[in-house]
Chain A
Amino acid sequence: MAPQKKTRTAHPDAPTSSTFLSGPFDQLYRDHVDVMYRFAYRLCGEVEAAKDLVQETFLNAYRAYDRFRGDAQVSTWLYAIASHACLRMRRKRKGEPDRELSLEEFVPTSEGEFALQIPIEGLSPQEALENKELRQILDRAIAKLPRKYRMVLVLRDMEGLSAKEVGSIVGLNERAVKSRLHRARLFVRKELSAKGLAGELNRNVHTRLE
């Protein structure tokens, strides 16, 4: 549902500002903070950075509220604000540009690279993820993704948005979203199939249901 824009003025110090803050904007925060925190945590991989991103997202939403046209869902609008804020915050911390992922680097070169070297046979994804080691390996793989690829993977495969919605959030057409998503998935797959992980997991296999 689109927020009620009429209560907001362009001047935060105007009398209606506090009404807006304690009314519609507060409601917007309450309705979406959990989704935005989940998204922020998935992007950042740690609690404090996720909280910073949520704070930045809602402050930017407050400032940009006058320009929200209501032709997108509020959640999509907030995802876009969070995505931009995330890219800006990370750019400040680390100046390096994102590297591009090419399909060639994901073509297996030996027999062992075709399968996942992780012990999940016969387990549902939920059961497999009860293994702390596996969760950590997956999280590390996602964290290693160049940020523009991680953004698309998180939005599409973790937040469950459509390719079209992801495109409107990150400013790409559907074809480009799908291409980026495929490379991101191949990257994570390759990380999960990397040699050395199986040994590490197998040694800890009895801690699966700790």
Chain B
Amino acid sequence: MANRVRTYPGTRKPTPHQGHGKRNCVKILERLSAYLDDELSGDICREIRAHLGDCPNCEVFLDSLRHTVQLCQHRPSPSLSAKDRAALRRQILKGAVSA
């Protein structure tokens, strides 16, 4: 089990920006949620993919954002017990009557 659990992204080590100005990377960063949510036009998507192909740091960043969103989406939330649900109902109905 332990060998499955390693620091993400594992074997791929980010390298410094190669031929990319930081300004380009910031421009990409601004659009990554829209990119993940599939809200961008084909032209902009192609532009982003071209940048990602050349810029390992931005690709790693995108992966880390994707994982972050997935963790949020799948974070389970505790449910109310039947006892708590009934108690809460009594309080709400009582509060509504005396309102």
Contact = CB atoms under 8 A, between A and B. Distances in A.
Interface in A181-200: 181-182, 185-186, 188-189, 192-193, 198
Contact of A185 (B30, B65, B88): B65
Interface residues of B, number: 52
A134 B74 CA distance: 12
Interface of B: 1-2, 4-10, 14, 16, 22, 25-26, 29-30, 32-34, 37, 39, 57, 60-61, 63-65, 67-80, 84-85, 88-89, 91-93, 95-97, 99
A125 interface: yes
15 contacts: A26-B89, A62-B99, A103-B29, A106-B29, A107-B26, A119-B8, A120-B8, A129-B71, A135-B75, A157-B69, A178-B33, A178-B39, A185-B68, A189-B68, A206-B2
A29 B51 CA distance: 50
Contacts of A149: none
Interface size bucket, A side? 35 or more
Interface stretch (A36-44, A75-83, A84-92): A36-44
Contacts of B74: 125-126, 129
Contacts of A111: 14, 16, 57
A26 B93 CA distance: 8
Nearest to A38: B77
Contacts of B70: 125
A161 interface: no
Contact of A115 (B14, B73, B77, B97): B14
Contacts of B25: 107
Contact of A59 (B6, B9, B30, B92): B92
B23 to A, nearest CB: 10
B5 A119 contact: yes
A141 to B, nearest CB: 9
A37 B14 contact: no
B85 A33 contact: yes
